[in-house]
Amino acid sequence: MSVVAQGAWGWVLDPRSLFSQSYSRCIRWTEGGQKTVVTCSFKSQCFQTVQSHVSKKCEAGGVTCTKHDKKRKRKCTKLNQGEIDIKAFHDKVRSVILEGTLALVESARACGYLNTTEEFTQDPVTFPECGLSDLCEMAKQIPLVDMEKQDTSAQALEGSSTFHLDLFSRVTENRSDSAAVVTLLGDEYVIPAQSAFLLSDFTRVQPLVGYGAKFDLVVIDPPWENKSVKRSRRYNALPSSQLKKLPISLLASSDCLVVTWVTNRPSHLRFVCDELYPHWGVEVMAEWLWVKVTTSGQFVFPLDSEHKKPYEILVLGRFISTVNRSEGSSSESISIEDHRLIVSVPSTLHSQKPQLSELLKPYIRPNAKCLELFARNLHPGWTSWGNEVLKFQHASYFTMTPADDDVNYP
């Protein structure tokens, strides 16, 4: 079970279980068209954050700082407006995070989770550089087809016959009840059961609209602009103003739940609440916090660190259809509690977020259709879109072992 503990403050998640639980039985296709049954599990090394990011010198002196803080000595102690805003928000949520996290971690420890303090002995794992966004850039050289003439029907993932698939301009579906390990773009990827995806960037989102589905849950993880991203060049950031062009009204069903991941920059939070959601016709319902802890339950960064905070924000809202807006109606759906906490050990892989399916079930209709935008991995039963949508589905992130029923597979 991926939800380890639950209480009035929120939840403790086992993120690796979330990523692995759907791959206990996968059909692996070889180049010769043969198939075997394997069990896939996401590599444990990706969730082995044992120690918080505090320098030994700071610990010895009883000072709360991170290893990064030493690099940012300021000549002037006067805060700029951005730092003042960050401090104001932090002061508002600090007690909730501190009390709630302590209570949830204690509940998790009672279940035998978040008790790991020993060093892991596995050798470091290196993963291939993701070239999916580069492939999307190359695909732009293909002229756009008029929407009326374009085939917007979904294409099926059919085992070994993947060479003919157009991953950049048509939604691809795994219609099987089993996950599949298939070769796409020259590499092996693990595709969850009953999932769908479109590999494209912001300029080629039309096929997702043409797919024709209306979604009851939309989760968005925007590539926010910030200094860290510019320095690392880990992905191409998108100006906030461009997010307004996402066709949410064409993708969302009436009363759709919209969830957006937000960085700790108050300007991003204000933009989502005051500009982006109103532009889309989404009513803000609540703000949740993802709190990152080590395998022993400590904050990954000191709670009051000036450099990085051990939490990120999610803004939850309800899409109000054009008809309801014209009638002055607001959302009458199930209420959503504010300032709930999601506590988990973060992935060591950059920008890999925990999966929210189980947590959001009470707030959406049964058998809801779910969509993730700017996704970097897939989820069973979900549709995903982004220029790195297959990134964390690459076979190198998984350990594969023969399944017990492989010999009996027809």
- Which alpha helices (H) appear in 244-332, and where do they start and end? 248-251, 266-270, 277-280, 322-326
Residue 15: its pLDDT value, please? 83
Residue 52: its pLDDT value, please? 79
pLDDT in tens, the chain (410 residues): 589 999 999 999 998 887 777 888 899 987 677 889 999 998 888 887 877 776 444 443 333 344 444 444 445 567 788 788 889 999 999 999 999 999 999 999 999 999 876 655 455 556 666 667 677 676 666 665 555 556 678 999 987 678 889 999 999 999 999 999 998 888 899 999 999 999 998 888 999 999 999 999 999 999 998 655 444 445 567 888 899 999 999 999 999 999 999 988 889 999 999 999 999 999 999 999 999 999 999 999 999 988 889 999 999 999 987 665 555 555 567 789 999 999 999 988 877 899 999 999 999 999 999 999 999 999 999 999 999 999 999 999 999 999 876 544 44
Residue 26: its pLDDT value, please? 93
Is residue 400 classed as helix, strand or coil in its secondary structure? strand
8-state DSSP, 76? -
Please report the beta strands in 279-351, taking only residues with DSSP state E, as ranges in sequence order. 282-292, 311-319, 341-344
8-state DSSP, 62? T
Q: Could you write out the DSSP letters of every residue in 77-127? A: ----HHHHHHHHHHHHHHHHHHHHHHHHHHHHHHTT-S---SPP-SPP---
Instruction: Note whether 404 and 29 are within 8 A (CB).
Output: no
Alpha-carbon distance of 335 to 251, in angstroms, equals: 22
Residue 29: its pLDDT value, please? 82
Residue 31: its pLDDT value, please? 66
User: Which tokens is 209 given?
Assistant: 């609209």
Burial 42-80 (b: 16+ CB within 10 A, else e): bbeebbbbeebbbeeebeeeeeebbeebeeeeeeeeeee
Residue 130: its pLDDT value, please? 60
Alpha-carbon distance of 238 to 245, in angstroms, equals: 12
Report domain extents, the chain. Answer: 3-405
Fold of 3-405: Rossmann fold (3.40.50)
Residue 33: its pLDDT value, please? 73
Give pTM, 2 decimals: 0.87
How distant is the alpha carbon of residue 25 from its chain centre? 23
Give the H/E segment covering residue 188: strand 187-191
Residue 324: its pLDDT value, please? 58
Residue 85: its pLDDT value, please? 87
Phi and psi for 111 in degrees, rounded to 5?
Answer: -95, 5
Collect all residues with Cβ–Cβ distance below 8 Å to 339 and sequence separation of at least 6.
93, 96, 286, 287, 288, 289
